[in-house]
With several copies, the nearest count.
Chain A
Amino acid sequence: MANKTIIEQLKREQILDLLQEGKRIDGRALDEPRSISIETGIISNAEGSARVKLGDTEVVTGVKIHPDKPFPDVGDKGIFICTAEILPIADPTAELGPPNENVIELARVVDRGIRETGMIDLTKLVIKENKSVVGLFVDNSVINVDGNLFDACSYASVAALLTCMIPKYELQDDQPVQIEGEKSKPPVNTIPVSVTMARIGEHIIVDPNSDEWACMNARITITTNSDENICALQKGGSDGFTFEQLIKCSELAISTGSKIRKQLEAVA
């Protein structure tokens, strides 16, 4: 569990010393995310897919699409579900078996970031109201862990969604049937960008790598939309933030997010 080794303690001291001088362990500026590489259309069995590297954190994401019954009370909307799994190849400590609380939080934060911006217009994914709708299932498989899975999964999910092709369905005999050859781009309203920041001591850094992740005091993930409004927040970690720090984080999320959004827009 939390038994910190001496090496971890020394690394924390080193990271803190550097931060006092305004530097990070890998040479980045405090508000600088790692480089992001995005490849799309890599899985032909998926209706949309992406492979994203955020530094050495790496995710493969697929979007599967099929007709489904709508959730009760929201018969006028399609279904959007986003999951995440940390594959055991990704990290020596990854666990097999049902997802633990960290993985569940990861999936739910990524899901909520996209859902709350209203990225996909779910009202356009209705085959027949209250009977049959289109479901988008976005599955994130983390294949290498180097900190900040939240943003890597979020970018991969957004890229896979932006490039997915939605089959057309019709009800025949009360059953939804796919119309061959008719596919369309997804109804996209806005592009969500998740930016995760850590507080280490009194310093706020953007996109912590795994050394920074291991020694942070607290973290926050803020998702903004194309209008640069704030649509989802999630604080984590075993300490807190001051009010001023939270305001600073929101500003960083908007400024950093704006640059990353351009890169995501380019894949569509």
Chain B
Amino acid sequence: MGRKTDITLLDEKGIRCDGRKIDQTRNITIKAGILKNADGSAYIEFGGNKIIAGVYGPRDIHPKHLADSDTGVLRCRYHMQPFSVPERKNPAPSRREIEISKVIKESLQPAVILDDFPRTAIDLYLEVLQADGGSRCAAIDAASVALADAGIPMRDMVSACAAGKVENTIVLDVNNEEDQAGQADMPVALMPHLEKITLVQLDGMLTPDEYKKCLETAIIGCKQVYEIQRSALKAKYENGG
């Protein structure tokens, strides 16, 4: 349920409060392999989001009873720095962070081939340095690149982008102002080649038609993100990373 705002969220020419068109994402840049110690890593700037993804593993699990003798286990922690948000965040993990960690994990599990690594874990850490609207999608986008950078075998990439409703119009990649004031925000993650949707959530209100439009719009965004993820990995390996 949104709050009132004085900002013009969408003008008569279809231009949004940050100058974007309705089918345009914010600026996205991804860089692979940015951490020395991690087995794989990536840094994403997605609008105002600045997020580092780091991967360790496959590695042994402690305590052992959490291990699975048939398959590897993907573990995921989404974590915001105290300074990443306007109001300083308490460093202890919030319930929101724990839920986001879980939905991110479940959005990536379908892509990661874990069967080759029984009794081990792949640990994925997502560190939000600066948070803006859509941080879970941005985190998934960086995570997918970091997993690939770590050499983890994958069925497909996972590319995420939200769509939403602003002034009764379905738009791509809702930003923070739009989310605060807005009518609906639907983060989506897609395996672009397998055409499987591995994350979908919704806050807001959509008619059945809007729901369909919103999904379609988000999928287009995911595919745009996929190209940026590919380029990031390519850049890393062309630079002999």
Question: Are A and B co-members of a single complex?
Answer: yes
Report Cα–Cα, A230/B71, bound state, in Å. Answer: 37
Report Cα–Cα, A247/B82, bound state, in Å. Answer: 39
Query: Given A62-B84, A63-B83, A90-B37: A143 and B198 within 8 A (CB)?
Result: no
B235 within 8 A of A: no
B198 and A85: CB pair below 8 A? no
A116 and B1: CB pair below 8 A? yes
A105 within 8 A of B: yes
A89 and B35: CB pair below 8 A? yes
Closest to A47 in B: B83
B154 within 8 A of A: no
A229 and B199: CB pair below 8 A? no
- Interface residues as binary, A83-102 with B (CB distance below 8 Å gives 1, 0 otherwise): 10101111110001000011
Query: Given A63-B83, A66-B88, A250-B211: A240 and B196 within 8 A (CB)?
Result: yes
A231 and B204: CB pair below 8 A? yes
A143 and B102: CB pair below 8 A? no
A101 and B205: CB pair below 8 A? no
Please give, as numbers and ranges, the residues of chain B lying within 8 Å of A88 by CB-CB distance.
54, 56, 77, 123, 125
Question: How many residues on the B side are at the interface (Cβ–Cβ under 8 A)?
Answer: 71
Interface of A is mostly: mixed
Please give, as numbers and ranges, the residues of chain A lying within 8 Å of B81 by CB-CB distance.
60, 62, 139, 141
Cβ-neighbour of B205 out of A49, A60, A64, A116 (below 8 A): A116
Give the interface of B toward A (CB within 8 A): 1, 3, 35-38, 41, 48, 50, 52-54, 56, 59, 66-71, 73, 77, 79, 81-88, 91, 95-96, 98-99, 101-103, 106-107, 109-110, 123, 125, 127, 129-131, 186, 191, 194-208, 211-212, 215-216, 219
Subset of 30 A-B contacts with CB under 8 Å: A3-B68, A42-B50, A45-B130, A56-B36, A62-B84, A83-B82, A85-B91, A87-B54, A87-B79, A89-B52, A89-B54, A92-B37, A92-B59, A101-B98, A101-B102, A104-B99, A108-B95, A143-B52, A144-B35, A145-B37, A146-B36, A230-B205, A230-B206, A230-B211, A231-B202, A239-B109, A239-B196, A242-B196, A250-B211, A251-B208
